[in-house]
């Protein structure tokens, strides 16, 4: 792709002072790469118990969401916090929407000037019901919240538009479905700068090549075909998915090497693959993996 091929630009979005997107090229070493890929630190609103203990940092030892967010910020100085609402998962804690509201309020206060992204659980219906409540109740803070899907966007988009929130539009790693949802959100009144694309991605060894290809095609369509429905920043939430795969967990065979180091490299490699494909925000879980990715990004600027 040469500079003559480019006639489009990725929308620049401002998440509480954090500039995301805005680029007119794929690669960070090219002049049109306006803002670097941003790394968000994943913090959950319930202590993590289903992953290897070395997968996440020791911020959940005591206290509540406010303490965990505060420790994450003090320890790692992240560009952004992504709060996962593990508490609302109907297959686990199944807590009420009022608990989610309380936890988000605590996270907002603890974040201070650090931008906050809110991520739901894996249940579309529960997300829809909880998000609908949150979008209406929170009016003094611009939420960036998702994933919002084709099956629940209709109950959410009006409240997001009315109260000035930003939605993360999720589709199952399919360009046409991503375009469709973005167009539907726009037609319902959402500003393009208030939409992020969540294409649904996988970990290294579990279809990452296909994810890379789809994201790269999205970016090429946005830049070289000026496809407005694909010019929103892309966010990839990888932290949990990486550490759930068997290769990132404990393996007794010594040939696989140290479990913790392997997991860190698995997350960092997954992140760098998706960043190379063109995503603008990557959500990560392990601080050592995040540090490694930051160092690699610095070297490519």
Does residue 38 belong to any structural domain of this protein? yes
Does residue 6 belong to any structural domain of this protein? no
pTM: 0.96
- CATH at 130: 3.20.20.20
DSSP for 44-80, written as a single string: ESS---SS-GGGS-S--SSS-HHHHHHHHHHHH--SE
Q: Over the stretch 151-192, which tens digit does the pLDDT of each residue have?
A: 999 999 999 999 999 999 999 999 999 999 999 999 999 999
Does residue 53 belong to any structural domain of this protein? yes
Q: Over the stretch 56-91, which tens digit does the pLDDT of each residue have?
A: 999 998 999 999 999 999 999 999 999 999 999 999
In the 8-state DSSP scheme, what is residue 5? Answer: G
Q: Going residue by residue through the chain (301 aa), what tens digit of pLDDT does each one get?
A: 555 678 899 999 999 999 999 999 888 778 788 899 999 999 999 999 999 999 999 999 899 999 999 999 999 999 999 999 999 999 999 999 999 999 999 999 999 999 999 999 999 999 999 999 999 999 999 999 999 999 999 999 999 999 999 999 999 999 999 999 999 999 999 999 999 999 999 999 999 999 999 999 999 999 999 999 999 999 999 999 999 999 998 898 989 999 999 999 999 999 999 999 999 999 999 999 999 999 999 887 6
Structurally, how many domains does the chain consist of?
1
DSSP 3-state helix, strand, coil percentages of the chain (rounded to 5)?
45, 15, 40
Does residue 86 belong to any structural domain of this protein? yes
Instruction: Give residue 176's domain range.
Output: 33-300
Does residue 2 belong to any structural domain of this protein? no
Does residue 243 belong to any structural domain of this protein? yes
Alpha helices of the chain — where are they, by DSSP H?
65-76, 97-111, 124-137, 157-163, 175-187, 208-224, 239-244, 259-277, 287-300
Does residue 56 belong to any structural domain of this protein? yes
Does residue 269 belong to any structural domain of this protein? yes
């Amino acid at each position: 792709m040469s500079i003559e091929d480019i006639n489009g630009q990725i929308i620049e979005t401002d998440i509480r002072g954090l500039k995301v997107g805005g680029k007119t090229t794929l690669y960070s070493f090219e002049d049109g790469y306006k803002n670097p890929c941003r790394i968000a630190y994943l913090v959950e609103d319930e202590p993590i118990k289903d992953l290897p203990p070395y997968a996440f940092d020791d911020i959940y030892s005591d206290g509540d969401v406010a303490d965990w967010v505060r420790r994450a910020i003090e320890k790692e100085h992240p560009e952004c916090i992504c709060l996962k609402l593990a508490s609302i998962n109907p297959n686990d804690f199944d807590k009420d929407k009022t608990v989610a509201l309380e936890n988000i309020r605590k996270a907002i206060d603890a974040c201070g000037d650090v931008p906050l992204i809110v991520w739901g659980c894996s249940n579309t219906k529960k997300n829809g019901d909880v998000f609908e409540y949150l979008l209406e109740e929170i009016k003094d803070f611009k939420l960036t919240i998702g994933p919002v899907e084709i099956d629940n966007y209709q109950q959410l988009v009006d409240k997001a538009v009315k109260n000035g929130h930003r939605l993360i539009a999720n589709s199952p790693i399919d360009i046409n479905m991503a375009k469709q949802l973005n167009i539907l959100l726009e037609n319902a009144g959402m500003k393009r700068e208030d939409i992020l694309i969540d294409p649904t991605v996988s970990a290294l060894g579990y279809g990452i090549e296909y994810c890379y290809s789809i994201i790269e095609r999205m970016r090429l369509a946005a830049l070289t075909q000026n496809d407005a429905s694909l010019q929103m920043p892309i966010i990839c939430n990888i932290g949990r998915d990486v550490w759930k795969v068997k290769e990132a967990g404990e393996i007794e065979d010594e040939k696989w090497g140290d479990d913790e180091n392997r997991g860190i490299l698995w997350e960092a490699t997954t992140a760098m693959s998706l960043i190379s494909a063109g995503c603008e925000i990557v959500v990560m879980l392990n601080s050592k993996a995040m540090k490694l990715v930051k160092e690699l990004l610095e070297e490519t600027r």
